[in-house]
Structure 1
Amino acid sequence: MWSNLPLFPAGASSMAGHVDALYFALVAITAFFTILISVLILFFAVRYRRKRNPTATQVPASTTLELLWTGIPLGIVLIIFVWSSVIFFIQTRPPKGAMEIYAVAKQWMWKFEHPEGQREINQLHVPVGRDIRMVMTSQDVIHDFYVPAFRIKADVLPGRYTSTWFRATVPGRYHLFCAEYCGTQHSGMVGEVIVMEQADYERWAASGVEGSLASSGEKSFQQYGCSMCHRSDAAGRGPNLVGAFGRPVLLDDGRTVTADESYIRESILNPGAKISSGFKNIMPTFQGQLSEEEVIGLVAYIKALGSGSANPPLPVSEPNSGAYPVAPKTEGSAAQSDTAVTPPEKANPAKSAPKQ
C-alpha cells in the first residue's frame, strides 16, 4: 500500500509493525482532536456570535464536564506512555543468543566487523530471520545508526559502546544513514544493509577470511603481553579473565559493576578508572597504542574465553620475572615508562574482578 510513498519506507524487521502501529495511532489521535477542536471553534463562533448574544451570560460550572475533559486526555496519554514504553524496552533489550556485529563510525564512513572475521566498509551483510546485536562506537564525534526500513535509530558515541538490535524479515538492500549531524560531509555518510538468506550469508562469511574476530584478539592479547599477568591460573598478577565477561565486578571502592563491553574497553584504555578489588593500579594504559579494531578484537577474545570458544591465555614469561608488561611505544604517542613495577600482593582470583 505504501510502497510508492518515498517518505514511508517498507517495513523489513520484526519491530517495524509495532513502531508503525504506534505511529499511526498517534497520527489518528492527533487528526481526530485537531478536527474536533476546529469544528467546535467554528460551532461556538457561530452559535454564540454577538448578534445572537449581545449580552454575555454566565455559564454554570459542570463537575461532570470537568472530569471528562481531564480524564479522557489523561487516559489517552497513559495508554501512549505504556505502549511506547513496551516498544522501547523491547528495542533496548536484545534477545539472548543474538549474533553480535561491531560497528565503528568515523567521519564519514561506517566500518563493520563480523564474528567470523569479515570486515566491511559502508555495507553490512546480515542473514534474514536472525537476531543481530550491533555493538557500536565512534572514533571522533557523535554519529547515529539509522535504518529506516528496520525502524531503528541509535546514537553512536565516542569513547564508549552503545548497542541496538534488529531482526530483518525480508531479504533485500536497505538504506543506512547517519542521523546525527557530524560535519561538513554528514549527508554523504550513507551505506546499505544487505539482508541475505542464511545459506547465502554463510557462504559470504566464509569467503576470504583469515581468522575470526576472537582469534585476532587472541593474537593481540599475546603480542601486547596481556597474558603475562592475566593468566588462567592463580599465579597471575592480574584478574583471571576466563569466564569474566558478563559477571559482576567488585571494585576497590566498594562499588559493583558488570563486566560488559564498555567496562572491558575502559579497562584497556583507562585501567585506573575502575580498580578491581584486591589489585593495585599498575596496569599501563593502551590509549593511543591500540587501534579501534584491535580493541574490538580483544573484547571479542575476552568474551569468547567465557564460552570456551577461545584458548585460555598462556603466559609469555615467568610470573616472577619482576617486571610488569609495558605498552609498546608507537611513533607519535606518549612513551610508557620502562621501569619495572613491583608486583602487587596476590589476591584470590575467584573473588577478584576481571580487571585492574
Structure 2
Amino acid sequence: MAVVLGIETSCDETGAALVRDGVLLGEALSSSMDRHARYGGVVPEIAARAHVEFLVPCVDRALAAAGLGSSAVDAVAVTAGPGLATALHTGVAAAKAYALALDVPLYGVHHLAGHIAADVVDAGPLPNPLVALIVSGGHTSLLLVRDLARDPIIHLGDTLDDAAGECFDKVARALGLPYPGGPALDRAAHGGDAGAVAFPRPLTGRADAPYTFSFSGLKTAVARWSERQASAAGVAAVPLRDVAASFQEAVADVLTAKALRACAEHGVGDLLVVGGVAANSRLRALAAQRCAAAGVRLRVPALRRCTDNGVMIAALGDLLVRAGVPSSPMDLSACPEVFLTGAMIEPVPLPVLAGG
C-alpha cells in the first residue's frame, strides 16, 4: 500500500498530508489569511511568498505527525489548478522537487476534485453515483460523480457570475463586516430572523435553467436594501442580524433546492456538499433537513475539511494510485484556469521560445 504525500497551495492555505489506503496518517496546515485581512481579500503575491515560507515546514510536520521519514513516501499529489497562478506554481515546483528527490510518481490533480475527495478519510469511500454540490469562494457547481478516480465528472450546472463564497465576502463588506465574509456573516446571523427580509432567490423560476446559479443580483439586492435602510433611518437602524440571517437563508435555499432537484431528476440517492461555504451553519442545517425529508443520504465533511487543506489532495492522490491511474509527466505546469472534467489535470506544453 502506497503512502501518498498531498500538497495544496491554490490560495492562502498551505497544506500537506499523508494518506495510505484511505487512512490519514498525518497532516499539517498553515494559513496566511491574517496577512490578507487588511486588504479585504487575498493578495496573490503575499500568498505565494507565504507558501514559500510555510511549505517545507508543513511537509515536515505532516511527516512527523505520521511518524514517517520522507523515504516512506511512494507518490506525490499536488494541486495543479485552478487557483492563483503564483501560489499554484509554488506548490507544483515543490511537488516536482519532492517527486524527483524521492524518485516517486507525481500526480497533478484538480483542486475541486480534491474537495470531493476530502470526506473519504473521515467517512469512507464515496457512493457511486452521487451528486456533488461544490460551494466555495471561486466556484459553485452541481456535479454528477461516479468513480472519482476513473470516470469523467459531469457538470449539471455552474454559476454564471459570483460564486456563493464570493457573494458572502462582498455582502459582508457591504455590511461592514470583516474578511473573510463567510464566517463573519454566519456569526452575525446568529439569533437573527431569516424571514425578516424577502431577498430574491435567483434563477429559480420555471423558465430558468434548473441547475444554474447566479449570486451577483442577490449581492446587489442586499447592498441596495441596506443602503435604503441606512438612508431612511440612520446606520444604527439597519438590523444586521436579520439582514445576515435573511441573506444566508436565500443562499442556502437556492443551493439546497437545486441540489435536491438534481438528485431526484437523476435518480441519485446521495448528496455531497463540499467547499468553504459548506462550513456555513445554515447551509448544513437546511441540507440535512431537506435531505431527510427527501430520503437522500447527505455527506458534508467536518468543518476542518471544508476549507482548503492538504488532506483532500492526499486523499485524491491515494484514490488515483489505488486505481492504477498513470502519473503526470515531470513537465506538468500549473493551470490557474482549468475546467473540471476529472481528477487529473492534463499537462500544458511549455512554449518554445524563438531562437531557443
TM-score band, normalised by the shorter chain?
A: under 0.3
Structure index of larger Rg: 1
- Quick check: which one's helix share is greater? 2
TM-score normalised by the chain length of structure 2: 0.24
TM-score normalised by the chain length of structure 1: 0.24
